[in-house]
Amino acid sequence: MRIPIVGLIFLVACGDGRGGADAATGDASPVDATTDSPGPSLTCGATTKCPTTDYCDYGTNHCGAAPGEAASCHERPAACPLNAGAAIVAGDPACGCDGKLYSSACIAETSGVDLDASGHCDLAAGAFRCGYTQCRLANQYCVHEPQPGGDDVYRCQPLPSTCTGCACLADQPCGDACSGDAAAGLTLTCP
């Protein structure tokens, strides 16, 4: 009886199974982790706030700083993904539009804050910017997946143990689109 209850808790916490950009499970998909509010979306921005049950989702995750960036109210996630022990699954840290670094994109959105792809949050020790997240220099590289007309996806991937530059990522998807170096961080940009 215990397994169905844990499964039910996981199903409720994960929502409709569309995945999310928060990489909470370590294998993020390029779909926004939020659920649209019922009915028509309300527009929001610097002077127009969302209802307290929503957060203002900026179209390109630049917190309204990008020219013509549209924003609409989205319902806050009811809960973040859980592991079998009923603890929140750790994800890549996420920079919020309020300048705070959250433990994951889901935690930021649950707190009513959209993600800041400009990376205006303080950088954690030993980390480098990867859009709205921060990857560890010692053992991760950044994957940036531009999404025409939507929020770009950023995620941290494990860096091969002997990797010191772009050449060691050549066999990865988009490995030919590598930038950076081991000292500043490596980023693969996938179309």
Phi, psi of 152 (to 5 degrees): -65, 155
* Statement: residue 85 has pLDDT above 50: yes
The first and second tokens of residue 7, run together, are 């499964």
Q: Give me the mean pLDDT over the 58-72 stretch.
A: 84
Type of residue at 71: A
Where is 127: in which H helix or E strand?
A: strand 127-130
Q: Give me the mean pLDDT over the 33-51 stretch.
A: 65
* List of residues 6+ apart from 178 with CB closer than 8 A: 166, 169, 170, 186, 187, 188
* Statement: residue 141 has pLDDT above 60: yes
Q: Give me the mean pLDDT over the 103-113 stretch.
A: 90
**Residues of the domain holding 162:** 2-189
Q: Give me the mean pLDDT over the 160-167 stretch.
A: 89
Where is 108: in which H helix or E strand?
A: helix 105-110
* Statement: residue 26 has pLDDT above 80: no
pLDDT value at residue 83: 53
Q: How confident is the model at residue 87 (pLDDT cuts 50, 70, 90)?
A: low
* Statement: residue 49 has pLDDT above 80: yes
The first and second tokens of residue 58, run together, are 């900026």
The structural domain count of the chain equals 1
Q: Which of 16-20, 70-74, 148-152 has the lowest mean pLDDT?
A: 16-20
* Statement: residue 34 has pLDDT above 50: no
Q: Give me the mean pLDDT over the 25-49 stretch.
A: 53
* Cross-strand pairs, 186: 180
* Statement: residue 68 has pLDDT above 60: yes
Q: Which of 56-60, 93-97, 185-189 has the lowest mean pLDDT?
A: 56-60
- Residue 158 has a CB neighbour count (10 Å cut-off) of 11
Q: Which of 9-13, 67-71, 73-77, 173-177 has the lowest mean pLDDT?
A: 9-13
CA distances 54 to 66, 71, 188, Å, are: 21, 12, 33
3-state secondary structure of 113: coil
pLDDT value at residue 44: 87
Where is 156: in which H helix or E strand?
A: strand 153-158
Please state the pTM of the whole predicted model. 0.69
